[in-house]
């Protein structure tokens, strides 16, 4: 039987350690560094010959560094004789560019998937991608996990009276519908227009579903600058909603998003630790996906 090890990239070492403890998969020894010119240095210090190995790396900020580091770790493991290499990518960067919005744009998610797989990865584990179609971008088997049940379990502890689940855009309706089913709650949908010439800017156009007087739970896959959910929360409060809670799997929190969200009409934000959270806010709560991922990896042994 091949031995198994899990290696941590720079993006989320605490999550990797927690998964190692829960799964009883030993944590591999690896040295990561950056040369004076900004190039990334990787040294696998364990003997991995004929081992099955997992690499945990979220493609979060610094996005490009973490993507390259993942590819270099995979290459180092392959050259060291690893039998099977599985990339565990809790947050897949560039996932919001899974299609062309206008002529002349790349399909960035496909480019990154190809780059990662070309480094020698045999299998991928992903969590709540921005679009399900991204699974097909990988030319290797993919295990697709979701944190919706975890987030729904946390929301149930709030004992919210008359909750309504809100999709912040039409593209998130399927996710919101599944979340609403978990909570046995009605669904409302916000229609928005995103300006292609202004990044991370949107305008609420209309809303379907009755929300007046209810407690709203906005469900999304990722919070980046917070612009979408802030505008959605404003629209909901104007409709008479008493309390707005936001749930999202991935908390990117770019460009002072935490400060902006702290000053917004949003009452509470719940995200997972798919991305290591350094900024602190009384409004933000983090729930761990370590158990979810650990259970998945144990099944792969």
Active site residues: 192
**What's the 3-state SS for 222-259?**
EECCCHHHHHHHHHHHHCCCCEEEEEEEEECCCCCHHH
Residues in the chain: 301
Please give the Cα distance from 144 to 133 (Å, whole number). Answer: 11
When computed from its CA atoms, the radius of gyration of the chain, rounded to whole angstroms, is 20
Cβ pair 138, 124 in contact under 8 A:
yes
Q: Which residues pair with 124 in a beta bridge?
A: 87, 142
Cβ of 23: how many Cβ atoms within 10 Å? 22
Please give the Cα distance from 198 to 196 (Å, whole number). Answer: 6
With tokens 């902006």, the residue in question is 260
Please give the Cα distance from 188 to 132 (Å, whole number). Answer: 21
Query: Tell me, what DSSP letter sits at residue 89?
Result: E
The CA distances from residue 23 to 18, 133, 197, 202, in Å, are 9, 29, 45, 42
Residue spans of alpha helices (H) in the chain? 13-23, 63-79, 108-118, 148-156, 173-183, 227-238, 257-262, 290-300
């Amino acid at each position: 039987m091949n031995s198994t090890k899990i290696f941590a990239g720079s993006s989320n070492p605490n999550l990797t350690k927690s998964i190692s403890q829960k799964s009883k998969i030993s944590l591999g020894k690896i040295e990561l560094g950056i040369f004076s010119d900004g190039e990334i240095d990787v040294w696998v210090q364990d003997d991995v010959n004929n081992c099955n190995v997992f690499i945990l790396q979220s493609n979060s900020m610094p996005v490009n560094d973490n993507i390259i580091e993942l590819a270099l770790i995979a290459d180092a493991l392959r050259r060291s004789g690893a039998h099977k290499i599985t990339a565990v990518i809790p947050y897949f960067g560039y996932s919001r560019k899974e299609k062309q919005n206008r002529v002349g744009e790349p399909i960035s998610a496909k480019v990154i998937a190809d780059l990662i797989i070309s480094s020698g990865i045999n299998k991928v584990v992903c969590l709540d991608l921005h679009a399900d179609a991204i699974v097909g971008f990988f030319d290797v088997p993919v295990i697709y996990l979701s944190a919706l049940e975890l987030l729904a379990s946390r929301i149930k502890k709030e004992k919210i009276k008359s909750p309504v689940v809100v999709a912040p855009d039409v593209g998130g309706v399927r996710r919101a519908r599944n979340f609403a089913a978990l909570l046995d709650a009605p669904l409302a949908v916000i229609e928005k227009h995103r300006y292609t010439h202004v990044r991370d800017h949107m305008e609420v156009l209309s809303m379907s579903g009755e929300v007046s007087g209810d407690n709203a739970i906005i469900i999304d896959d990722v919070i980046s600058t917070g612009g979408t959910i802030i505008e959605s929360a404003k629209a909901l409060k104007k409709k008479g909603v008493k309390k707005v809670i936001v749930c999202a799997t991935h908390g990117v929190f770019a460009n002072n998003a935490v400060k902006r969200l702290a000053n917004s009409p949003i009452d509470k934000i719940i995200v997972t630790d798919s991305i290591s959270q350094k900024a602190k806010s009384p409004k933000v709560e983090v729930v761990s996906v370590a158990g979810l991922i650990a259970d998945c990896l144990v099944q792969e042994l």
